[in-house]
């Protein structure tokens, strides 16, 4: 990946986050009412969320490189990613349930966050698989779930489902963009072309 491509991914992700945050904010206001943040703050929040998504993406790239170096078997490595994905989803449900408090805790309400992340991850992974190969499905689901959740952890402290969803939805858009652009920006390795077998000379 060249510096020019890195700049393209960086600025487009920031722009996408800046646009996605107000859209997500207005959508949340339709369902939940006022969320206590104006348009300008939504724009700045989108810039910040885009930058956070960038850091999470490159952290995942390092994790993936180290993980594949230690675990050479692709089936074992993908099984590990699948197990971590399930743990992250369970953890996201339990944390939002505890933050909501016992009085307002609703099982269906606190299923919204892990459900949104999982559905988005499955949709993006399906498109990624169609664009590349079937082996990309589980790693894409793992990235979309684990990276999005870890990046959204700071918003959990606000104890507001609307603010959590605002950050999560923006991060999902940015992460989906990054993972779908990865195979387009990484140059394929130049493989040697097989030599054509020479035709046997006919015996005279």
- Mean of per-residue pLDDT scores for the chain: 82
pLDDT at 201: 47
The full set of domain ranges for the chain reads: 3-185
pLDDT at 157: 65
Task: Return the DSSP state at 133.
Answer: -
pLDDT at 80: 93
**Spatial distance between the Cα atoms of 141 and 86, rounded to a whole number of angstroms:** 10
Question: To 5 degrees, how large is the angle CA 87–CA 94–CA 38?
Answer: 110
pLDDT, tens digit, 9 for 90 and up, residues 129-154: 999 999 999 999 999 999 999 998 87
- Cβ atoms 151, 53 nearer than 8 A: yes
**What is the pTM for the complete model shown?**
0.83
Nearest to 12 by CA among 200, 185, 163: 185
pLDDT at 204: 41
pLDDT, tens digit, 9 for 90 and up, residues 10-32: 899 999 999 999 999 898 888 87
The DSSP H or E segment spanning 19 is: helix 3-32
What's the chain's Rg over C-alpha atoms? 21
Tokens of 122: 């499955």
pLDDT at 175: 96
Query: For a pLDDT cut of 70, what percent of the chain falls above it?
Result: 81
Report residue 92's pLDDT band, with 50, 70 and 90 as the boundaries: confident
Least confident of 81-90, 91-100, 104-113: 104-113
- Cβ atoms 22, 43 nearer than 8 A: yes
pLDDT, tens digit, 9 for 90 and up, residues 61-77: 999 889 888 888 889 99
Query: 62 exposed, middle or buried (CB, 10 Å; 0-12, 13-18, 19+)?
Result: exposed
Least confident of 1-10, 99-108, 162-171, 184-193: 99-108
Tokens of 27: 């959508």
Q: What is the residue-wise DSSP string for 63-129?
A: HHHHHHHH---HHHHHHHHHHHHHHHHHHHHHHHHHHHHHHH--HHHHTHHHHHHHHHHHHHHHHHH
Up-side HSE of residue 9: CA atoms within 13 Å toward CB?
A: 23
């Amino acid at each position: 990946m060249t510096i020019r491509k890195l700049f393209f991914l960086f600025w487009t992700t920031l722009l996408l986050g800046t646009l996605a945050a107000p859209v997500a904010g207005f959508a949340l206001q339709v369902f939940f009412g006022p969320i206590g943040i104006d348009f300008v703050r939504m724009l700045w929040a989108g810039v910040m969320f885009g930058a956070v998504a960038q850091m999470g993406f490159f952290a995942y790239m390092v994790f993936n490189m180290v993980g594949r170096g230690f675990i050479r078997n692709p089936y074992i490595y993908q099984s590990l990613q699948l197990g971590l994905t399930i743990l992250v989803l369970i953890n996201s449900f339990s944390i939002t349930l505890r933050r909501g408090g016992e009085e307002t805790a609703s099982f269906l309400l606190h299923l919204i966050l892990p459900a949104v992340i999982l559905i988005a991850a499955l949709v993006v992974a399906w498109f990624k698989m169609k664009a590349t190969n079937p082996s990309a499905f589980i790693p894409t689901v793992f990235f979309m779930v684990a990276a999005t959740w870890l990046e959204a952890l700071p918003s959990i402290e606000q104890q507001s489902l609307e603010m959590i969803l605002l950050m999560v939805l923006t991060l999902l858009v940015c992460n989906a963009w990054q993972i779908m652009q990865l195979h387009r920006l990484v140059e394929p390795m130049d493989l040697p072309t097989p030599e054509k077998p020479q035709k046997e000379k006919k015996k005279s």
